[in-house]
Every structure is written in structure tokens, then in C-alpha cells.
Amino acid sequence: MAGPKSKALFERGRKVLIEGVSSASRGPATFGGAPRYMSHGQGARLFDVDGREYIDWMMAFGALPLGHAHPKVVETIAREAARGTHFATALEVEVEVAEMLVALLPHVDKVRFANTGTEAAMAAFRLARGHTGRRKIIKFEGHYHGWWDSVLINTNPYPPTLLGHPNDPIRIPDSSGIPEEAWKDTIVVRWNDVEALERAMALHGRDAACVVTEGVMSNMGVIPPKPGYLQRMQELCRQYGALFYLDETVTGFRLAAGGCAELYGLEPDIVTYGKALGGGLPMAMIGGRDEIMAGLEWGKVLHFGTHNAGRLALHVTKVMLETMLAEDQAGFRRIKNLGKAMTDEIRKLAKHSNRHGMVVQGVNSMFQIFFTDQPEISDYRDFCSHVDRAKFRDFALRLMDKGIYMNPSATLHSLSSIVHTEADITATAAAMAEVLEEMP
Ligand SMILES: Cc1ncc(COP(=O)(O)O)c(C=O)c1O
């Protein structure tokens, strides 16, 4: 339960902020009441205003591969802030970071910087439509690409009776205020199902500007792609002339230096990155091959932004890249090993006392626990039908009382950073064991 100072802040905050916060996922919708108001972070730890300490496995939804207040990040921000926070002009560091990204990502010849994953996705969809002259977007059930009208459909876990036939999912916008025109050209397809995709491509492929996918499904817990599935998707895109758009907002600079494209051997036409890219500051990018990215030139497809390529964020992005890539990418090896070690520990717990039906799924540094009657969760429909989200929330809230911070939403996931330690894993597993004993 939130402490007295958090509760008091929530009472104050809800008078002037919607639900006391600035994104629904941080407020009572997720925490069931007052959230814990955080005061500061250090390394792998978060501290709340009541003086409680947490091992942070959420890391700002994955924006912090270097953890909290990494000395290099702090030093860089202090140094650069003293030289001016933002100019909205061309910058040397902008060229430097773009060069680093292009050198690292074989499928990217050019990049354009934005601030958030949503903004980058909006530009990417407009670019895909501009480049191909086609209107339709093919997206997948349960995949989230930001809160833009055209793709904010079928991203929530709905009751199975609302989903429709797997060959023809019922399209459900996830918010009021989204006009039908915004998503009339968005086709929704079941993910991890080659036949469903082949059918959808036969019907819509020639009108599709792009097929957009998360490489690992990251907004319904963690669901890896079936072997060969993403490769087949890429092939079908080439066959029908639709752009293959890999949304690496979550997976970029987390699962591998080259994201899911590297992990699964893909050559996407367009990628977007956010979250980890900025090392804790708002930074996102759209990347792709020259002939596609050229569509963003002046007079073709428009993408603006006062805060694009913010200099503080670019300097921190550079530090993040240098730190993670040093010693032959030791940072990526470290977060992968830690993520796998945590996953193994949870698996042991699940085996030891499985009266709760606990399953853990992970890819490298990301993992999520499902309370389910199934041996695995392999797509959105499985998630909607077989995951006990209330139980996960109870589990996560109890863990918080023991100083372990995981987001209580089963649709999200946990992840390791370079500053987590073996001791954090041991402490987390011990707290989980206690919670599993206590839970009804
Ligand atoms: C796959 C994916 N794409 C895009 C976004 C949107 O990013 P942002 O929250 O930075 O707008 C998210 C956010 O969670 C995401 O998970």
C-alpha cells in the first residue's frame, strides 16, 4: 500500500491532475488507488517520498538501460546544460549520433530524430503512405504503436467474446474520441499466425503501405515470435510491395545492439526506436534505407517538431550508446545475462510451488510473469482468454510492499539494466517466494 506521504500527494494531485498523474498507466487505473510517488533513483533503486526503497525492474518502461543517475549521464547533462538546453538548430552531436546509429544498424542508411515512440511512429506511417502511395496499414492484435488514432485499435486485452473470428478480428478502437475515418484503413490481423497473415496479405497486401509489427510482442506481457514467422512476414511484404515496418521502440537497444532485426536476422524497410535510445531522456528516431527515408525531404512527407533532436537528449543518447557498446557490446551481454538469470530464478519458483499456475516468458533482458492455466501464452487471444490479470496485479502490489517494483499491469513487462546485480536477483526471488506463499 502507498505510504502516508504518497497518499497525501495523491489527494493533492487529483485536484489538479487527472487521476493525480500524467499518464493513466501511472495512476489508480494501474495501482488500484494512490500510486507511490517517487522522489529519486540511484542505480537499480527507486526511492519514494515515504523513504521506501525499491529494486526497480520497470526502469521507466525500459528507458533506462544504464539505470538511474548513471554518473556519466549526470555528468553529461550537467556539462551540456551549462552550455544551453535546446537550440532547435542543426547540431554536431546530431550528426555524430546519426553516424553511430547508421554504422550500427545495417538496414538504416538515414535517420530522423523525434522525441517519443508515438511521434516517430506517426511520421513512419505517413512516410510509408507517402512512399508507396497506398492507404492501408496492416497491424496486429494486441500490438501497440503509440496512442495515435489510426493504430490505437485492438491494443487492449478485451474479453474473448468481443474478439471475433481469428480470420476476421473485430476492430475495436481503444479510446473514445477516435473517428472511424482514422482507422477505416487499418487492417487488424492475428499475430504469430502465418496463415492468417497470408490470407490478409492476399486480401489487402497490394493496397497496404506497410505491415507494422513489434518484433517481440511487448504490450501483452512478453510473447516471442514463432520461428520463421517474422521472416515470412518480411517475405510477404516484399511480394506485395508493402513496406516492412519493425517497431523497435521497446526492443531497440534492449534485446541486442541491433534490436529484433539483429536477433531474428531481419531487414526491415522502416524502423522506429524510442525508450532506451534516449537513456532516460526523450529521444526517438525513424530509420530506413535511403530511397525510403528520402521521402521525408522538404516538400514531400512532412515531419516537424520544435523539440526534435534535443541536444541534452542527444548527448545522453551518445553516452548510452558508447557505454552499452564498449568492450565489444559488454552492456548488451550483461543485461541479457541478468534478464535470463532472473527468468531462470522465477522459473524455479514456479516449479517449486505451482499452485498458482505461474509461467514466465522472456527474451534476453525482458521478461513477464503470467498467472495462467496454459503452459505458454503465444498470442493476444491466449492472453485475453488465459491470463489472470487481477492475480498479477495482486502479486505485483504485494511485491511492492516488499521493496520490489514491477509494473502491476500484466500487459507490460520487466527488464534488466546494466546496474542490476546478482544480489538484486536473489533478493527479488526471495520476495517473490514470500509473496507466493502469502497469496490466496
Ligand atoms: C512498441 C511500441 N511502440 C510505440 C510506443 C510509443 O512510445 P511512447 O510511449 O514513447 O510514445 C510504445 C510505448 O510503449 C511501444 O511499446
Walk me through the domains of the chain, giving residue ranges and CATH numbers: 4-69+329-438 (3.90.1150.10), 71-322 (3.40.640.10)
CA-closest residue to ligand 1 atom 2: 145
What residues are paired with 387 via a beta bridge?
Answer: 372
Query: What confidence tens digit (pLDDT) does each residue in 252-287 have?
Result: 999 999 999 999 999 999 999 999 999 999 999 999
User: How many Å apart are CA 156 and CA 373, to the nearest integer?
Assistant: 21
User: How many Å apart are CA 117 and CA 212, to the nearest integer?
Assistant: 14
Q: Taking residues 197-202, what's their average pLDDT?
A: 98
User: How many Å apart are CA 253 and CA 364, to the nearest integer?
Assistant: 12
Residue 349 has pLDDT above 90, yes or no: yes
Residue 132: what pLDDT?
98
Q: State CA 164 to chain mean position distance.
A: 26
Residue 427: what pLDDT?
98
Residue 355: what pLDDT?
86
- Is the distance from CB of 120 to CB of 284 less than 8 angstroms? yes
Q: What does the DSSP assignment read for 168-229? A: EEPP-BSSTT--HHHHTTEEEE-TT-HHHHHHHHHHHGGGEEEEEEESSB-SSS-BPPPTTH
Terminus-to-terminus CA distance in the chain, angstroms?
18
Q: Taking residues 283-299, what's their average pLDDT?
A: 98
Residue 353 has pLDDT above 80, yes or no: no
User: How many Å apart are CA 148 and CA 275, to the nearest integer?
Assistant: 17
Q: Which of 150, 156, 249 to mutate to test the pocket of ligand 1 (most atoms within 8 A of CB)?
A: 249
User: How many Å apart are CA 212 and CA 225, to the nearest integer?
Assistant: 14
Eight-state DSSP code of residue 2: -
Eight-state DSSP code of residue 108: -
Cβ of residue 142 lying under 6 Å from some atom of ligand 1? no
Cβ of residue 249 lying under 6 Å from some atom of ligand 1? yes
Residue of 69, 134, 56, 135 lying closest to 407 (CA atoms): 56
With cell 548510452, the residue in question is 320
**pLDDT above 70 coverage of the chain, percent:** 100
- Is the distance from CB of 19 to CB of 27 less than 8 angstroms? yes
* Residues with catalytic roles: 144, 247, 275
Residue 241: what pLDDT?
98
Cβ of residue 272 lying under 6 Å from some atom of ligand 1? no
- Is the distance from CB of 142 to CB of 157 less than 8 angstroms? yes
Query: What confidence tens digit (pLDDT) does each residue in 409-421 have?
Result: 999 999 999 999 9
Query: What confidence tens digit (pLDDT) does each residue in 11-55 have?
Result: 999 999 999 999 988 999 999 999 999 999 999 999 999 999 999
CA Rg value for the chain: 21
Residue 248: what pLDDT?
98
**Helix (H) and strand (E) counts for the chain?**
15, 16
Residues 6+ apart with CB under 8 A from 351: none
SS3 for 359? strand
b (16+ CB within 10 A) / e for 334-363 = bbbebbbbbbebbbebbeeeeebebbbbbb
Q: What is the average pLDDT value for the chain, to the nearest integer? A: 97
Residue 352: what pLDDT?
83
Between 311-352 and 422-438, two packed helices, what is the crossing angle to 10 degrees?
Answer: 50
Cβ of residue 212 lying under 6 Å from some atom of ligand 1? no
Cβ of residue 145 lying under 6 Å from some atom of ligand 1? yes
Query: What confidence tens digit (pLDDT) does each residue in 46-71 have?
Result: 999 999 999 999 999 999 999 999 99
Residue 362 has pLDDT above 80, yes or no: yes
Residue 263: what pLDDT?
97
Ligand 1 closest atom vs CA 121: 4
With cell 511492492, the residue in question is 400
Eight-state DSSP code of residue 37: P
Taking the centre of ligand 1 as the mean of its atom positions, its distance from the CA of residue 268, in whole angstroms, is 18
Cβ of residue 118 lying under 6 Å from some atom of ligand 1? yes
- Is the distance from CB of 239 to CB of 217 less than 8 angstroms? no
Q: pLDDT band at residue 293, thresholds of 50, 70 and 90?
A: very high
SS3 for 274? coil
Cβ of residue 250 lying under 6 Å from some atom of ligand 1? yes
Taking the centre of ligand 1 as the mean of its atom positions, its distance from the CA of residue 59, in whole angstroms, is 14
Taking the centre of ligand 1 as the mean of its atom positions, its distance from the CA of residue 403, in whole angstroms, is 27
- Is the distance from CB of 193 to CB of 199 less than 8 angstroms? no
Residue 354: what pLDDT?
74
Taking the centre of ligand 1 as the mean of its atom positions, its distance from the CA of residue 143, in whole angstroms, is 10
Grid cell in block for residue 410: 500484466
Residue of 230, 176, 244, 223 lying closest to 360 (CA atoms): 223
Where on the phi/psi map is residue 136: left (φ > 0), alpha (ψ -120 to 50), or beta? beta
Residue 60 has phi, psi (to 5 degrees) of 50, 50
Look at strands 136-140 and 45-48 and give their pairing: unpaired
